[in-house]
Copies of this chain bind each other. A is one copy, B any other.
Amino acid sequence: MITLASDFGSPYPAAMKGVICQRSDARIEDIAHDLPRQDVRAAAFWLTQTLPYFPPAVHCVVVDPGVGTDRAALVVRAGDHALVGPDNGVLLPAARKLADHVEVFRWSYEDPESSTFHGRDVFAPAAATIHNHGVTGLAELPRTSRTDSYVDRQFPNPTINRERARGEVLVVDDFGNAITNISGEELAAHASETVTVNGRQASVRRAYAGVEAGEPLVTVGSHGNVELAVNQGRGDEAFDVAAGDDIDLRW
Residues of A at the B interface (CB closer than 8 Å) are 1, 3, 5, 8-12, 14-19, 21-22, 28-35, 37-38, 46, 49-55, 65-69, 113-117, 120-121, 173-175, 206-210, 213, 219-222, 224, 227, 232
Residues of B within 8 Å of A22, CB to CB, are: 53-55
- 12 pairs of residues in contact across A and B, judged by CB atoms under 8 Å: A8-B174, A9-B174, A11-B31, A11-B32, A11-B46, A18-B50, A18-B55, A19-B53, A22-B54, A65-B213, A69-B209, A116-B207
Q: Is B115 within 8 A of A219, CB to CB? A: yes
Min distance, Cβ A184 to any Cβ of chain B, angstroms: 9
Contact among B18, B50, B65, B232 for A38, CB-based, below 8 A: B232
Residues of B within 8 Å of A55, CB to CB, are: 18, 21-22
Min distance, Cβ A195 to any Cβ of chain B, angstroms: 17
Min distance, Cβ A127 to any Cβ of chain B, angstroms: 14
Min distance, Cβ A236 to any Cβ of chain B, angstroms: 14
Number of copies: 3
Residues of B within 8 Å of A227, CB to CB, are: 116
CB within 8 Å for A67 and B9 given contacts A15-B53, A50-B14: no
CB within 8 Å for A207 and B175 given contacts A11-B46, A11-B50: no
Q: Is A29 within 8 A of B21, CB to CB? A: yes
Identify the closest chain B residue to A49 (Cβ): B15
Residues of B within 8 Å of A33, CB to CB, are: 10
CB within 8 Å for A11 and B35 given contacts A116-B208, A208-B116, A221-B114: yes
CB within 8 Å for A67 and B209 given contacts A21-B29, A29-B28: yes
